[in-house]
Structure 1
Amino acid sequence: MLLNKGMDLVWQIIISVLTALLVSVLIILKYLHARYVETTYARCTSSTDLSGKVAVVSGANTGIGYFTALDFARRKARVILACRDLKKGQEAVDKIKSSTGNNDVVVMKLDLSSFQSVRNFATMINKQENRLDILVNNAGALILGQLDMMMRVNYFGHFLLTNLLLGLLKKSAPSRIVNVTSAAHRESRGIDFENLKAEKSFIKTLTALKAYQNAKLGNVLFTRELARRLEGSGVTSYSVHPGAVDTKIWGEISGLFSIVRWFFQTPEEGAQTTIYCSVSEDLEGVSGKFYYDCNEAEDKSSSVSKDMDLAQKLWEISETYTGLKEQ
């Protein structure tokens, strides 16, 4: 009996020591990775002043959207945080005002899963604002089991919002539309218009991932079709892959993946390409391209995302799906 208890104690000590060693190694690796990323990741170096400009950023109360809005405020723009949760949005506004000294920062209600909310938001913007210089379609979601909501938030909501604000964007030209997408779009083999939300799949997680990939492909196709339709208008569009960023979009995925997230970029680092496409003088007159790490990265976008026939068909389907065609 005593021997068994002694062996149990020994094993507990061994497990405790190994666990402590593993945690120590992970912390060291995390530190070294953070220093590596800090010295190598691209940063938007543009000094563009946005005084007198108006910018809208969706999903700006946290993550990439927050740091994008923070940067615009530092550049003296009027910044509108388009958020589903007004309380959290106001908290973000207060932080941005305190950090930048720019008091022309506000939050407005926008729930991209509701087309009525999108219409209400667009109506208020068109009524209250005299101009719109930058529209950043940033909000995103990876929601297991709620595929319709995920498709609306990641793609359809932004499609409708952008179209409802095009008049103001054209009036304010030169103006820019930045669509935050993901490298996940490369995993989509194309969009099955009879199965837009991947609802015919029977495996919950795989279904969600497929819907997410399709939505992100939709973002890139939408960007390219916008560029084609807006050629000569002074309104330009860009799609952005921010990189692997530790944001709340991963909230429902835990377990071993939580350790992997330690090695992702911070939201501030992930926001740099979005900011670059929004303000850089280098992109004046350029439109419809895919960007990563503050550089054009057409070689990193999929061949399917360059199919302009698919882009046009998706636009037409989206007009019907969102009710835009009835406008």
Structure 2
Amino acid sequence: MTSKKWTASDIPDQSGRVAVVTGANSGNGLETARALAGRGALVVLAVRDLDRGRAAVDAIRADHPGSDLVLQELDLASLDSVREAASAIGNRFERIDLLVNNAGVFHTPRRQTADGFEIRMGTNHLGHFAWTGLLLERMLPVAGSRVVTVSSDAHRYRSRIDFDRVGAAQDHSQAAAYGRSKLANLLFTYELQRRLLAAGASTVALAAHPGWSETEILRHFPGIRVIHLLIQPLRHSAAMGALSTLRAATDPTASGGQLYGPDGFMEMRGHPVLVTSSARSQEAALQRRLWHASEELTAVSFSV
């Protein structure tokens, strides 16, 4: 491990690679898409709001004229939308080199997904679980392909999952619901990596967390303007937050099952390094249990 700080300039040439990034219209997702496009990848921006997606495409092309970008509508809170979007991408591309599961919701009006799931677990985990399962066939034949799922250090806090009610609201705390969904992201990543390894696949699964970055994820939080003033010294830019994802996605030395996060105080900000997730996230029994529950809830099975 070198002492040099990893930056976007360390991203290898991505020419000829197809990268699919969810939630690529703003924040960390936009910066991830921007950096990959800047290094030559064909980037699919999978977004819920097409108008904001078009603005993101314009912003990336302003920085990188001639970049190869595709806009795809995707609402992770609807399994019908997930299936339609995955079918469209699968029909358009014979191969996918990189799948970045970035999109997420935190503090949002209390509601359910179109399929009746609690909004955070339904969007952040179950939507991405189904999305990955439906696209994996386009990745397995591709040497060096990667699935990178964005979690959060919030996975450590109040995140115990009631496996009898995985898709349902388990209490009235939005923070706890978010923490559960971010724990689920890690349980999913580790179980996916175990299955890929057992199948002898060249595809690998990794995770990343951005630290405290300047994104819109707290936009519905009460008193957000005051909160921004209080936490601003602890945050870093969305471009810095995206570096953890980008390192997991492109660093030639990265391996399946690894987690990247910021190197600063309490992993809140800084440059990406290997970090360790909670002991709970590493429990194989929990990983398997969530996997089977997710298959039942989404009706999506993986080929590994």
2:30 to 59, 66, 71: 66
What TM-score results when the alignment is normalised by the length of structure 1?
0.81
Q: Which residue of 1 aligns with 2:256?
A: 287
Q: Is 1:182 aligned with 2:152?
A: yes
- Which residue does 1:165 correspond to in 2? 135
Taking the aligned partners of 2:18 and 2:168, their CA distance within structure 1 comes to 37
Secondary structure class of the residue paired with 1:146: coil
Which stretch shows the higher mean deviation, 258-267 or 307-316? 258-267
More helix as a share of residues: 1
Question: Aligned equivalents of 1:43 and 1:132: distance in 2?
Answer: 24
In the alignment, is residue 116 of structure 1 matched against residue 80 of structure 2? yes
Whole-angstrom distance in 2 between the partners of 1:44 and 1:172:
24
SS in 1 for 2:217: helix
The 5 A counterparts of 1:1-327 are 43-142=7-106, 143-146=108-111, 148-197=118-167, 199-201=169-171, 204=172, 206=173, 208-231=174-197, 232-255=200-223, 256-263=226-233, 264-283=235-254, 286-293=255-262, 294-298=272-276, 301-325=277-301
Which amino acid counterpart does residue 319 of structure 1 have in structure 2?
E
Instruction: Decide whether the 8 Å contact of 1:188 with 1:217 is kept in 2.
Output: no
| 1:73–1:102 CA contact under 8 A, matched in 2 | no
Q: Is the 8 A contact 1:54 1:131 kept in 2?
A: yes
Structural RMSD (CA): 1.9
Q: Distance in 1 between matches of 2:38 and 2:124?
A: 27
SS of alignment partner, residue 324 of structure 1: coil
| Distance of 2:221 and 2:274 partners within structure 1 | 30
Q: Deviations over 1:111-140 (max 9, x none)?
A: 000000000011011111021001000001
Question: Matched residue of 2:19: which SS?
Answer: strand
Shift of 1:48: 0.6
Report the structure number with the largest CA radius of gyration.
1
2-side partners of 1:303 and 1:258: how far apart?
A: 31
Instruction: Please list the CA deviations of residues 81-117 of structure 1 after superposition, one character each: whole Å capped at 9, or x if unmatched.
Output: 0000011101111111121123311211000000000
SS of residue paired to 2:139: helix
43-52 vs 116-125, which moves further: 43-52
Change (3 A) 1:106 1:261: farther
* DSSP-derived class of the 1:159 partner: helix
CA distance in 2, matches of 1:326, 1:102: 36
CA deviations 1:9-58 (Å, max 9, x no partner) are xxxxxxxxxxxxxxxxxxxxxxxxxxxxxxx9853442411111000000
Give me the whole-angstrom Cα distance separating, in 1, the residues matched to 2:190 and 2:221. Answer: 31
Structure 1 runs of 4+ off > 4 angstroms? none
**Aligned-pair CA distance for 1:295:** 1.5
By how many angstroms is 1:281 displaced? 1.1
Shift of 1:215: 0.4
Question: How far is 1:77 from its partner?
Answer: 0.6
Q: In structure 1, what is the Cα distance between the partners aligned to 2:25 and 2:192? A: 27
Q: Deviations over 1:240-278 (max 9, x none)?
A: 111011211100114232322423211111001101111
Contact map agreement 1:238 1:277 (CA 8 A) in 2: yes
Amino acid at match of 2:110: G
Quick one: distance in 1 between partners of 2:231 and 2:95? 39
* SS of residue paired to 1:249: coil
Amino acid of the residue matched to residue 134 of structure 2? L
Report the Cα distance in structure 2 between the residues aligned to 1:188 and 1:226, rounded to whole angstroms.
24
Give the whole-Å Cα distance in 2 for the aligned partners of 1:155 and 1:189.
Answer: 13
Query: Which amino acid counterpart does residue 126 of structure 1 have in structure 2?
Result: G
Q: Which range moved further: 90-99 or 128-137?
A: 90-99
**TM-score (normalizing by structure 2):** 0.87
- Residues 147 and 203 in structure 2, CA contact (< 8 A), matched pair in contact too: yes
Query: 1:172 deviation in Å?
Result: 1.7
CA distance in structure 2 between the partners assigned to 1:197 and 1:278 by the alignment: 29
Identical amino acids, percent of aligned pairs? 37
Measured in 2, the distance between the counterparts of 1:211 and 1:245 equals 20
Structure 2 counterpart SS, 1:164? helix
